[in-house]
Amino acid sequence: MLRRGTLILCFGILAACGSEPATDAAPEAAPAEAAESAPAPAEPAPAPAALPRQPSPEGASVYIVSPADGETVTSPVRVVFGLRVLGVAPAGIVMDNTGHHHLLVDTGLPDMGLPIPTDEQHVHFGLGQTEAELELAPGTHTLQLLVGDYLHIPHDPPLMSEVVTIEVQP
């Protein structure tokens, strides 16, 4: 237990830390000396740490049933998802050996240690959908499925389909 005198002494020391320097302090260092003794610039902030990932069941896979690779289609494009050895559960539902689909449109794979982004190129099917209709402009497009867990984080190892390239006609 601290005594009153000890507390007063501690407060006195803390108060002295913020006081003006004594008059007999050493003269200020020359600019070159000051630069040598200056602290190094702060390190950049570390990259965000990867989040815990759910394990993929052995033998699990995801694939695009249709359209087929190289197929010519018209918009809207009906995309049917396939999944083996893994159940489908909506986002936010914690169940072992489940996940939900994310369709990557005209983009590469995201960071596997973070939640899959949500934008026009990373389409989420968090209600457990197993197919979708997409409005795509005429031209060549790539599609790839990536399964995410209840927090939209890819499994470990990630469950991703082959890339399917399609040609959308006007």
What is the residue-level pLDDT of the chain in tens, covering all 170 positions?
444 443 333 333 333 334 343 444 444 444 444 444 445 555 655 555 778 999 999 999 999 999 999 999 999 999 999 999 999 999 999 999 999 999 999 999 999 999 999 999 999 999 999 999 999 999 999 999 999 999 999 999 999 999 999 999 99
- Does a cis peptide bond (omega within 30 degrees of 0) precede residue 67? yes
The predicted structure's pLDDT at residue 51: 86
Count of Cβ atoms closer than 10 Å to residue 93 Cβ? 13
Q: What is the pTM of this model?
A: 0.72
Q: Look at residues 132, 144, 128 and name the one whose alpha carbon lies nearest to residue 77.
A: 132
The predicted structure's pLDDT at residue 41: 53
The DSSP secondary-structure symbol of 154 reads B
Contact 158, 112 (CB under 8 A): yes
The predicted structure's pLDDT at residue 50: 74
